[in-house]
Structure 1
Amino acid sequence: MKLGTKIQLYTTVMTVIVVILINLFVYYSYKNFSLNAEMDQLENRGANIMEELQKANANNVSSEAVLQAFLLSDGYVRVIDSEEDPVVRIATETEYAGLDEPYSTSQYKKSISHEGMEFVMVSLPVIWDDGQVYSLQIYENVYFLYDTFEVLKWILVVSTLIILAVIFLLNRVITNAILKPVNKLIDKMKKTDDTSKYTMIDINQKDTKELRELSEAFNEMMMDLKTHDENQQAFIMNASHELKTPITVISSYSQMLKRFGKTREDVLDESIHAISDETERMKYLTEQLLSFAKVNREDETFQVEPIRIVKLIKNVTARLETVYDRQIELAFYNGEVLGLVDVDTFDQLLKIFLDNAYKYSSDSISVNIRELENNVEVTIADKGIGIPEEDIGHIFTRFYRVDKARARKTGGSGLGLSIAQELANLNDISIDVTSRVNVGTTFKLTIKKVKKNEETE
């Protein structure tokens, strides 16, 4: 169902319900008011009859004559004793004689139905000629009121239908007016989709706040898609370029082996070593590509938790000291400090920085853990070749390498620091870099500190 149809349907239905409830309230309020007003008139008539009866008793005039004088043009009057036996009955129509309400010494009034006719009545206690308390009951046929009620009912029914039609038409006009800019925006989006280009939508400042926000959200989404697509294309091109070099080398040496491998031992040895080196390089690059893809994919096992940072870094540095056959100096003050990280991804993040320090320096590596009020700082410093100042802002870009020849010599792929940046973002860790050429490089990781005494081993 279309949004416009829903708005029109819901508004019309709710309006009809409200109108019906209001009409019912008006109908029954008017009906009760009219009947109560007629019963009040009967009470006044009864009070007048009682006064006349008192005068009649004083002047020895027949009480029945008084009742005859006060008889309504269309009604019934009767007087009954405590046994509910009628003493006097006077009616304008014979069928009214069947009206029978109980005796009471209290005054009351009500509306009743009798043989398809509607009456209002009042009952009043009255002292009769013999001095006993009787019940004077006055009935009035109020057909004229019910005729009015019937007319009012049809007026309300017809007015409800008219209101329904008017509301339906008004809702249609209003809905179309409200949805017109939305439909225009949808048409623009469809045209943008048909062009297969990342086209922005012009934002009309005269539109409503919601429409402007929707247009802005669409434009932001298109920009994100464009950036993602460009990054994806660049990633594919860079990956292809990086793989092209070792494949070309392997292909060239394979051709040399075909031509001279059987006759020249020097060519055979050179080709075997070159192909082996390039195969290892391709293997490393492939692993880096897979690591990068894994980092950019949501991992259900990822979970940040309070971890003893010093203990985790100790385990990593101890393993890598053996692999690198080089000293890693670890300095810290509080061994119990807790940081909020995911163990696996933080472990991988440390390995990337330590591996870089190992590749681009020949001296010992320093790791310093410093506890601050709200954070934990981990600095990894080497005394290696350093990074030129103009290149520091680009080192986290995929496939960016400061010196391609030097990176090829050390086996770099240009993906390590890019992966580190993604891992740091996952753990909400900020990275700062300081470096001087031929002096060394320092990476500072700022980790959120956990103040509560909680630990997950």
Structure 2
Amino acid sequence: MKKISFKLAFYFLLVTVLIESILFISLYTTIVHSRVQEELDALLARGNSHRDVLQKHFDDTTISHVALMESEAETKVIITDANRNILAQSKNINKEMKIHLHTDLSAVPSTGMVLDDHWRSSDYICSISPIISNEEVQGYVYMFLETESIKALVEKITFKFTITALLTVCVSICTAFFFSRIITKPLVRMKKATEKLSNGDFTVVLQTTSNDELGELAASIQKLANDLHYMRQERSEFLASVAHELRTPLTFVKGYADIAKRSHISDDERTEYLSIIKEEVEHLTRLIQDLFTLAQMEQHTLTIEKEHVHLYDYLEKITAKLKPTLASKNMHIHIHCSSLLTASLDKVRFEQVLLNLLLNAYKYSNTDASISIILTQHHGQTVWRIEDQGVGIPEQDLPHLYDKFYRVDKSRTRSTGGTGLGLSIVKEIVELHGGTISIESQLHVGTTVTIALPTN
């Protein structure tokens, strides 16, 4: 994570410095240009001010007065006639300054102009203001300012900008690394969490207080850890249940097979023991078949092939198969279904659903009880209700009925205990049909299973 922290800080700093550089250069150029332009405008304005006075009184006294005023100022002045002969000048006028007297003045406007603004390469900047009287040029006022003052001003601005830029870069560096650590810190925690998950440790706890993408990622990893933890527990319980379910009938088969091999037992006893062995083998066969069905569901290879079914005839055939079994308890199944009702479903798979539910109702009902199958259709759905008069299911067990190998009857007797997979398979088949299943029960009153399937 140090690499990503460094990368984030580096890229953040690079972008920040790039933006700051553009802004600093733009601001620096604007300020310098503005300050230099102010000096140029001030020099021209000063020359125009002298020109305005001289236009009113263009005589030796006024000329000398103007030159005297500039003799103690930072600026210098040269006053010439129309032919650019010097009439007066302030002190410290050198030859370089007098060179400007020979500049072409054909383009000089009446408002004056800057003759030389090359402050970086020249020693002076210069402006000219024509003295016009009666619409004729009487002379010119040349103003000079040493560029050293401008250069000093620019150096001062440059120094301040350099200090500010360095401080800004330092702050940007600190900020970049600070925020990169803030961003990468949860990533480091998530990396450690995923390493724990890869090592089989699912006891991962991640804080998910933030509402951004990192918070969503942390929540996803936490959910993954919880799901894996649950799946590992479920797998352990599943394997333990499978081992138990296989061990019990195999123990019976082995035990009774050893007894049946004894030579001194009677034929009736041997027949009884072989019948028990046959029952346990059938139990194993059902368990293996249920496990195979569950495996198909887990791999999404269990397919549903729907066809058009007349529901009353379909139920008559299924209940007919159960009549011998129900007769042992003198139980009856009552079908409440219109002979005109039809629906689209997988006949084989849904028969598995109905047989499972009806056999459950049989196992947990008393003698002379009855089972009702009620079918209705409305709003594009076929609703199946299977009601029994059995012992009922405790309320605390209802949420767990679809768990694999879960039994309300914890005694696991061979007479009442199935494989514990039936309702899990029932739920999967119903959902593959696009339907829903719900179970309501009341102790010592009975249980009602409601299945809602799309009609088509």
* TM-score range relative to shorter protein: 0.5 to 0.7
Instruction: Tell me the residue number matched to 1:27.
Output: 28
Post-superposition Cα deviations, 1:325-384, rounded to whole Å, max 9, x if no partner, equal: 3688454799899xxxxx889995784245321564496751323647xx9682422446
Once residues 282 and 357 of structure 2 are traced to their aligned partners in structure 1, the CA distance between those partners, rounded to angstroms, is: 18
Instruction: Tell me the residue number matched to 1:243.
Output: 246
Q: Is it true that 1:381 corresponds to 2:376 in the alignment?
A: no
Cα distance 1:56–1:290, how it changes in 2: closer, same or farther (>3 A)? same
Cα distance 1:416–1:109, how it changes in 2: closer, same or farther (>3 A)? farther
Cα distance 1:336–1:300, how it changes in 2: closer, same or farther (>3 A)? closer
**Higher mean displacement: 69-78 or 236-245:** 69-78
Q: For 1:426-437, list aligned pairs within 5 A.
A: 429=436, 431-434=438-441
Cα distance 1:402–1:116, how it changes in 2: closer, same or farther (>3 A)? closer
Q: For 1:127-206, list aligned pairs within 5 A.
A: 127=132, 131=136, 140=145, 142-169=147-174, 172=177, 178=182, 199=203
Post-superposition Cα deviations, 1:410-451, rounded to whole Å, max 9, x if no partner, equal: 8932111133345667868351323665x754212467x9xx
The amino acid across from 1:416 in the alignment is: G
| Deviation, structure 1 residue 145 | 0.9
Q: For 1:27-46, list aligned pairs within 5 A.
A: 27-46=28-47
The amino acid across from 1:164 in the alignment is: V
| Deviation, structure 1 residue 48 | 2.3
**Higher mean displacement: 36-45 or 162-171:** 162-171
Once residues 297 and 113 of structure 2 are traced to their aligned partners in structure 1, the CA distance between those partners, rounded to angstroms, is: 86
Q: Is it true that 1:444 corresponds to 2:444 in the alignment?
A: no
Once residues 204 and 74 of structure 2 are traced to their aligned partners in structure 1, the CA distance between those partners, rounded to angstroms, is: 85
Once residues 340 and 65 of structure 2 are traced to their aligned partners in structure 1, the CA distance between those partners, rounded to angstroms, is: 113
Asked if structure 1 preserves the Cα contact closer than 8 Å seen for 2:409 and 2:417, the reply is no
Q: For 1:277-316, list aligned pairs within 5 A.
A: 278-296=280-298, 314=309
Once residues 144 and 374 of structure 2 are traced to their aligned partners in structure 1, the CA distance between those partners, rounded to angstroms, is: 107
SS at match of 1:398: coil
Once residues 110 and 312 of structure 2 are traced to their aligned partners in structure 1, the CA distance between those partners, rounded to angstroms, is: 104
Instruction: Tell me the residue number matched to 1:419.
Output: 425
Q: For 1:36-435, list aligned pairs within 5 A.
A: 36-57=37-58, 59=59, 87-88=83-84, 92-93=95-96, 96=100, 103=107, 105=109, 107=111, 112-113=117-118, 116-117=121-122, 126-127=131-132, 131=136, 140=145, 142-169=147-174, 172=177, 178=182, 199=203, 223-252=226-255, 278-296=280-298, 314=309, 318-319=313-314, 321-325=316-320, 329=335, 331=337, 348=349, 351-357=352-358, 360-361=361-362, 365-369=372-376, 371=378, 378-383=383-388, 385=390, 387-389=392-394, 393=398, 395-402=401-408, 408=414, 412-421=418-427, 429=436, 431-434=438-441
Instruction: Tell me the residue number matched to 2:324.
Output: none
**Higher mean displacement: 407-416 or 285-294:** 407-416
Once residues 188 and 9 of structure 1 are traced to their aligned partners in structure 2, the CA distance between those partners, rounded to angstroms, is: 24
Q: How many residues align?
A: 422
SS at match of 2:317: helix
Post-superposition Cα deviations, 1:177-224, rounded to whole Å, max 9, x if no partner, equal: x589859967995997799666575989xx999999999987776554
Q: Percent identity?
A: 19
What is the TM-score when the length of structure 2 is the normalising length? 0.64
Asked if structure 1 preserves the Cα contact closer than 8 Å seen for 2:403 and 2:424, the reply is yes
| Deviation, structure 1 residue 229 | 2.2
Cα RMSD of the aligned pairs, angstroms, is 5.9
| Deviation, structure 1 residue 106 | 6.3
SS at match of 1:368: strand
Once residues 89 and 354 of structure 1 are traced to their aligned partners in structure 2, the CA distance between those partners, rounded to angstroms, is: 127
The amino acid across from 1:160 in the alignment is: A
Once residues 19 and 298 of structure 1 are traced to their aligned partners in structure 2, the CA distance between those partners, rounded to angstroms, is: 58
What is the TM-score when the length of structure 1 is the normalising length? 0.64
